[in-house]
Structure 1
Amino acid sequence: MIYLELFWAFFQIGFLAFGGGYGALSLIQDQIVNVNKWLELPEFLDLISISQMTPGPIAINSATFIGYRIAGPVGSIISTIGVVLPSVFWIFLILKLLKILSRWIDTALVFNALRVSIVSLILAATFRIGIESINNLFAVVTGLVAFYVLYRYKPSVIWIVLGTGVAGIFWRLING
Structure 2
Amino acid sequence: MILLKLFLSFFKIGAFSFGGGYAMLPLIQEEVIEKNNWLTSNEFIDILAISQITPGPIAINSATFLGYRISGVLGSIVATIAVVIPSLIIILLIAHFLNKFKESKYVEWTFKGVRPVVIGLIASAGIFVAKDAIIDIKSLFIACGVFYIINFRRVHPILALIIAGIIGGILY
Settle same-fold status: TM greater than 0.5: yes
Contact 1:21-1:58 at 8 Å conserved across structures: yes
> Matches of 1:9 and 1:121 in 2, distance apart?
18
Aligned to 1:18: 18
**Percent of matched pairs sharing the same residue:** 40
1:78 to 1:105, Cα distance in 2 relative to 1, 3 A: same
Partner deviation per Cα, 1:122-147 (whole Å, 9 max, x = no partner): 11211222223221111111111111
Consecutive unaligned residues of structure 1, counting only runs of 5 or more, are none
Aligned to 1:138: 138
Aligned to 1:112: 112
Contact 1:98-1:107 at 8 Å conserved across structures: no
> Matches of 1:81 and 1:22 in 2, distance apart?
18
Matched, 1:153 2:153: yes
> Matches of 1:116 and 1:97 in 2, distance apart?
25
Q: Which AA in structure 1 matches 2:144?
A: L
Q: Let me know the Cα RMSD of the aligned residues.
A: 1.7
> Matches of 1:11 and 1:110 in 2, distance apart?
22
> Matches of 1:104 and 1:148 in 2, distance apart?
41
Secondary structure, counterpart of 1:43 in structure 2: helix
Deviation at 1:106, TM superposition (A): 6.9
Q: Which AA in structure 1 matches 2:151?
A: Y
Deviation at 1:98, TM superposition (A): 4.0
Contact 1:26-1:129 at 8 Å conserved across structures: no
TM-score (norm. length: structure 2): 0.92
TM-score (norm. length: structure 1): 0.90
Q: Which AA in structure 2 matches 1:105?
A: K
Deviation at 1:86, TM superposition (A): 0.7
